[in-house]
Structure 1
Amino acid sequence: MNRYDLIAFDMDGTLLDSNHQITQDSLDAIDAAVNAGKTVILSTGRSLSELKDYRQMLKHVRYFICESGALLVDTNTDQIIHSEQIEPSAVREIIDTASPEKAMIYIASNGQNLATRSYVMRMADFCIGQYQDIFLQTGTLLDDVVASYNKKHFPVEKLNLFSATPELREYFVQALSHLPLEMARAEDTSLELSPKNVSKGSGLLKLCQYLSIPVEHTIAVGDSDNDMEILKTAGLSVAMGNARPHIKELSDVVVADNDHGGCAEAIYEYLLNE
């Protein structure tokens, strides 16, 4: 009997192909898994609002681990199962450090992504131009996200700093290393900041507890640094063929890339293979 009951997919670079689409073979494999009584979930750095365009096609994927583990959502009821926030004093220091460097500040709050409109309009300057359409379609664009936070200290589950260069990102890593944060390098110049001890791995543990599924009966699939903790936590770790070399090295197995059926392979070969 197959020992795995749940599979968790990262989105960007994993379930999404190079055109930011979910391929039909992945959708068919997800349906096959659900029909076999397995649980398929998302594990993503994205906020809930950034996933709205995919929710209909992923209607059989009930549970989302969003914002790198800071927000767990039951999409059938839109209930927040669990959330974590960065301490307000840490948010203040992050903002004070990043603002003089003209980095783009992105805040996830209550499942919504917030950013300054003028920065979103020039996301290519921060090496993330490929995500501009997503931000324009799903984000809450403010005149000044820092001013909005200063006016009303809303909860911050996750904060991303988008830098113009890798060197600036490394400066932020060093300057903020004393704060109670988890840091993950993403893309070429981005830095994802989450509450201390919060990761996709901690999100998986909390969701498994909620669903009464032993974590050793789970599979995690990913490609990048923010997938490291969930890959270490799951019973089986699966790296995409397009994953960074060190992600492949720490994973148990490697499947095809995100343009050539890697996610379907993970389901058929490891979740459903009796």
Structure 2
Amino acid sequence: MSVVDAPRTTSRRAVFLDIDGTLTTDLGEVPESAHAAIKEAQANGHLVFLATGRSPLEIDPRVEAVGFDGMVAGAGAYVLYEGSWIVDKHLSEAEATALTRALDELGVDYSLQGRHAMHTTVGHRSRMRRILTQFGFTDLEESGLRHHVIDSGPLELDRTAKVVFSSDDQSTFDRVQARLGTEYAIVGGTMPGLGTGGGEISMLGVHKAAAIEALLPSLCLGIEDAIAVGDSGNDLEMLLACGVGVAMGNATPAAKEAADFVTSSVDDNGLHAAFVHLGLIEGS
């Protein structure tokens, strides 16, 4: 469905925004038009949340500076609202130990992600520093990606919520899927630098839509009042579940298929255009 066919919504809504490729460009920048749209929507009484696969530690200060009403993080493992973590899911120590053993046996570089800490293999850390520098990222140690390029120390295994792995070899993803796909939800990489064979590993049943559904009662809103905006594999559930699902123009084919309509790309003021069309803000 194109943006011109989308339903217009005018009553109070809760909007859930993916970060990479939706809110931010390939270089991690929030377009000025997107920032302005978010602030105007909030001034109009709407709530705007992040809904990201990133752990809370990975969220760039430039994104946090926008000022959101809360967040879904870790692809649904965490929900922050009014200063409290109302959802906080993680693997048991036994599960995390078995998972890392499997990845080590497969020879895969990865990063274990928790709410308070991350543990990154030497290979993943080296790769991410090299690739992100090639992409044009600067001051990596000050960015939301710093935990991928520095040694942040050991992570308590029983606080692991999600794993990302990196590779340029598609067979890496296939091998991880074959080994772990019945025990975990595995999607292709949704953040810069993971490569064509990289991906994300989450607990079964833990995804952005489930986290949104857990949050909505606290907002006195229903799923029909929620708007999801995304562009990739870990956005599919929320695009399908929310009252309106919006895919960016740069989204994957699967995300576009799951959405109710497609706006323009992140580099072409797509978020602002979607907010205008949905009646969250006035057009300029």
What TM bracket, shorter-length normalisation? Answer: 0.7 to 0.9
Aligned to 1:102: 107
Aligned to 1:225: 233
Identity, % of aligned pairs?
A: 22
Whole-Å separation in 2 of the counterparts to 1:131 and 1:107: 25
Where does the alignment leave 5 or more consecutive residues of structure 2 unmatched? 1-8, 191-195
Are the counterparts in 2 of residues 241 and 256 from structure 1 also a CA contact under 8 Å? Answer: yes
Q: Deviations over 1:204-230 (max 9, x none)?
A: 111112222111111101110110011
Determine if the alignment matches structure 1 residue 234 to structure 2 residue 242: yes
Whole-Å separation in 2 of the counterparts to 1:209 and 1:225: 26
Q: 1:56 to 1:201 in 2, by over 3 A?
A: closer
Give 1:236 shift: 0.4
Determine if the alignment matches structure 1 residue 87 to structure 2 residue 96: no
Aligned to 2:166: 162
Tell me the amino acid that sits aligned with residue 182 of structure 2: H
Are the counterparts in 2 of residues 121 and 132 from structure 1 also a CA contact under 8 Å? Answer: no
Whole-Å separation in 1 of the counterparts to 2:211 and 2:204: 13
Aligned to 2:175: 171
Whole-Å separation in 1 of the counterparts to 2:136 and 2:165: 14
Aligned to 2:35: 27
TM value normalised by structure 1: 0.86
Where does the alignment leave 5 or more consecutive residues of structure 1 unmatched? none
Give 1:4 shift: 5.2
TM value normalised by structure 2: 0.84
Q: 1:17 to 1:211 in 2, by over 3 A?
A: same
Aligned to 2:157: 153
Are the counterparts in 1 of residues 30 and 63 from structure 2 also a CA contact under 8 Å? Answer: no
Aligned to 1:50: 58
Determine if the alignment matches structure 1 residue 63 to structure 2 residue 70: yes
Aligned to 1:205: 213
Give 1:139 shift: 1.2
Aligned to 1:2: 10
Whole-Å separation in 2 of the counterparts to 1:161 and 1:128: 18
Give 1:56 shift: 4.8
Whole-Å separation in 2 of the counterparts to 1:258 and 1:16: 7
Q: Deviations over 1:75-126 (max 9, x none)?
A: x63x322111123333222211211333221111124433135531222788
Whole-Å separation in 1 of the counterparts to 2:202 and 2:136: 20
Determine if the alignment matches structure 1 residue 142 to structure 2 residue 145: no
Are the counterparts in 1 of residues 97 and 157 from structure 2 also a CA contact under 8 Å? Answer: no
Tell me the amino acid that sits aligned with residue 243 of structure 2: G
Whole-Å separation in 1 of the counterparts to 2:179 and 2:214: 30
Aligned to 1:113: 118
Are the counterparts in 2 of residues 126 and 162 from structure 1 also a CA contact under 8 Å? Answer: no
